[in-house]
């Protein structure tokens, strides 16, 4: 595996929350970065010779390829992809509309799939390609009425394991990181959970950096990150 200074990592949703923490941690670790952000958003790490900031819109079908092309034009290679961009909406079983579910399915499932498809040939060339999908404990169990969100995260878990199987012989290792509540703006309105007890995004970033640094023969398929004891996990 190449040293961090030679490896190129793409990180989606790199302007806030977990994505911003990941970008800062990887920059400090010496990785070369390609940060995907939506129009008008300020990235966590400013553009530089070692950091490309590119437009990425998870809702647009052609955005993944455009971002991959921009990354290749700047760095000539892709060694890792961190699918962090995602949304949380409430979509219960008894709701009569599927608009919210469709939006989450597009952003949380189809967008990571499209990103992986676009980056996969280049991850194969790396020989030690990495795909890290930021999922959720909601992809491992169901604890509330938000069936739609859980459905998308369960699907993201399936995508992760599909990539592990497909990419193994090419040196690609895929990992799903599944945290409980993380102290970001996405959880700002969560009631019943003390914010001080939530997981700091910097801790998730440290796990991402660890996964990216492991050799091919020490692969981690899933990382479940609890903030409190759960019997089933």
Question: Is 149 assigned a catalytic role?
Answer: yes
Residue that has been written with the tokens 């990235």 in this structure: 43
Portion of the chain with pLDDT greater than 70, in percent: 100
pLDDT at 170 over 90: yes
Which two three-digit tokens encode residue 40?
């008008």
What is the number of other CB atoms lying within 10 angstroms of the CB of residue 74? Answer: 15
Give the chain's length: 233
- The reported pLDDT for the residue numbered 61 is 97
* Spatial separation of the C-alpha atoms in residues 55 and 13, rounded to whole Å: 10
| DSSP collapsed to 3 states, 22-40 | HHHHHHHCCCEEEEEECCC
- The reported pLDDT for the residue numbered 55 is 97
* Burial class, 147, CB count within 10 angstroms (exposed 0-12 / middle 13-18 / buried 19+): middle
* Spatial separation of the C-alpha atoms in residues 130 and 210, rounded to whole Å: 11
* Spatial separation of the C-alpha atoms in residues 179 and 173, rounded to whole Å: 19
Domain ranges in the chain are 4-225
- The reported pLDDT for the residue numbered 37 is 97
Tens of pLDDT along 63-74? 999 999 999 999
Q: Own/partner pairs for 183-190, CB < 8 Å, 24+ apart? A: 184/16, 184/17, 184/18, 185/16, 185/17, 186/17, 186/88
What is the number of other CB atoms lying within 10 angstroms of the CB of residue 28? Answer: 11
**Helix, coil or strand: residue 222:** strand
Backbone torsions φ then ψ of 50, nearest 5 degrees? -100, 0
Tens of pLDDT along 88-111? 999 999 988 899 999 999 999 999
What is the number of other CB atoms lying within 10 angstroms of the CB of residue 174? Answer: 28
Q: Which of 31, 56, 67, 149 is catalytic?
A: 149
Residue range 141-162: mean pLDDT, rounded: 97
What pTM, to 2 d.p., does this model score?
0.96
Tell me which fold the domain 4-225 belongs to. Answer: Rossmann fold (3.40.50)
């Amino acid at each position: 595996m190449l040293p961090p200074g030679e490896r190129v990592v793409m990180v989606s949703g790199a302007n806030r929350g977990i994505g911003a923490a990941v970008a800062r941690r990887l920059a400090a670790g010496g990785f070369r970065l390609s940060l995907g952000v939506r129009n008008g958003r300020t990235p966590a790490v400013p553009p530089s010779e070692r950091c490309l900031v590119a437009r990425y819109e998870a809702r647009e079908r052609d955005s993944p390829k455009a971002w991959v092309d921009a990354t290749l034009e700047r760095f000539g290679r892709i060694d890792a992809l961190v699918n962090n961009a995602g949304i949380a909406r409430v979509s219960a079983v008894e709701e009569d509309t599927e608009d919210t579910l469709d939006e989450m399915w597009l952003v949380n499932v189809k967008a990571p799939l499209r990103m992986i498809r676009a980056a996969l040939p280049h991850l194969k060339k790396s020989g030690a390609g990495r795909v890290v999908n930021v999922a959720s404990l909601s992809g491992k169990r169901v604890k509330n009425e938000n069936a739609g969100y859980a459905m998308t995260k369960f699907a993201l878990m399936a995508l992760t394991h599909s990539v592990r199987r497909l990419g193994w012989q090419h040196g690609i290792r895929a990992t799903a990181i599944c945290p409980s509540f993380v102290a970001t703006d996405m959880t700002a309105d969560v009631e019943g959970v003390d914010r001080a007890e939530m997981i700091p995004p910097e801790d998730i970033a440290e796990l991402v950096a660890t996964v990216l640094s492991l050799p091919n023969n020490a692969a981690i398929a899933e990382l479940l990150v609890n903030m409190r004891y759960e019997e089933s996990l």
